[in-house]
Amino acid sequence: MTLLDLSPATGRTNPAAPATPYRAAVLGDTDPLRFLDEHGAPVEGGLRPADEHLTSERLLAVYRALRLARAFDTEATALVMQGHLAVYPSSRGQEACQAAAALALGPEDWLFPTYRDTAALAVRGIDPAEALTLLRGSWHCGYDARQWRTAPQCTPLATQAPHAVGLALAAKLSGDPVVALCLLGDGATSEGDFHEACNSAAVYQAPAVFLVQNNQYAISVPLRKQTHAPSLADKAVGYGMPGVRVDGNDVIALLHVLGEAFERARSGQGPTLIEAVTYRIQAHTNADDAARYRDRHEVDFWLTRDPVDRLAKYLTATGDLDETLDEAIGEEGARYATRMRAALVEEPKVDPAEMFEHVYAAPTQQLREQRRMVEEGRMADEAGE
């Protein structure tokens, strides 16, 4: 086995203990970084992003992205209940993570999403019908991954993390200023692929950012049964990379933390692990009954920390958002949802034989027999009509 020598150009006096600027802030201090409190007011002693990130124009664009993510999620939830989608994992309550992830990316950067990150795809600009193709039961992801620099949504937990590191490492070797952003849930941090990706990214100083959306549950398993670490961000210390714990419902804090992580990655300072503390308001998917494992009072508590309302309150207090403008933004979301519904209520015309076309370059005998059985069955059905 050959190991690549990709040590960073800057020397270390103690390579076994690399400097991590957030290490002291994470260990022994599990309070997430915040700019806004749950009421939309700036936190005393909290984060202070640069002034250019707090302009009216910038924050209204961010608010529009949050509202679009909410409109997308609301419409997708309705579509799955009406049978137009096979399954839909809602991101309700996690819109700040979704919007911040998409907005933090530069045009050259890559996004590696999970099955719950469809709203991030929508904010990235991908057509909603294309973004939801996989969740309609299709064999492909629906969008051009190269065009959108967005990998197919990944259903198996954490398997996209090594892919993200591989792309980031390839970019580093090629001298391309590309950062790979890998989205994960808290359940994914219990997977071996997560460990391998973080360890490899740190060893080779790959320009990758891991954003863990800690929504408190891996399906029905609460975080306390997944790890004994004080926080998921603490895991970064063992890999030798910065670990940051941030309020996942504070989109301004998220953009600030992501911006710093991207800057470190792009400047050759390696990966960052970010834990965004948030909450999954809806059930795991439409097939899940969340009432079996969590209390309604817990959901009500997190509803008071809604990421969309939080930014709206801040913008109202600063005078940048009034009722008329808020209604206009809401109408934009309604028109988006209408177009989304029109594209998805019509059932797609599918050729069952298509599923056999991209399995092997040269079909095996078994595959040819399976295809023949499907085609004969279809012809029999059509004859019976």
As annotated, the active-site residues are 280, 284, 293
C-alpha torsion sign, points 167, 173, 176, 180: positive
d(CA 39, CA 245): 20
The residues facing 112 across adjacent strands are 182
Crossing angle between the packed helical segments 160-174 and 192-203, to the nearest 10 degrees: 20
Chain-centroid distance, C-alpha 136: 19
| Dihedral pair phi/psi, residue 236, rounded to 5° | -60, -35
Contact in structure between 143 and 132 (CB atoms under 8 Å): no
Chain-centroid distance, C-alpha 342: 26
Chain-centroid distance, C-alpha 239: 22
**Neighbour count for residue 25 (Cβ, 10 Å):** 16
Show the beta-strand stretches assigned E in the chain.
110-112, 180-185, 208-214, 217-218, 221-222, 243-247, 272-277
d(CA 193, CA 24): 27
Contact in structure between 187 and 218 (CB atoms under 8 Å): yes
d(CA 88, CA 129): 13
Where helices occur in the chain by DSSP H, the ranges are 23-26, 56-81, 95-104, 118-124, 128-131, 145-148, 160-174, 192-203, 235-239, 251-266, 296-303, 307-317, 323-344, 365-384
d(CA 20, CA 150): 29
Crossing angle between the packed helical segments 323-344 and 56-81, to the nearest 10 degrees: 40
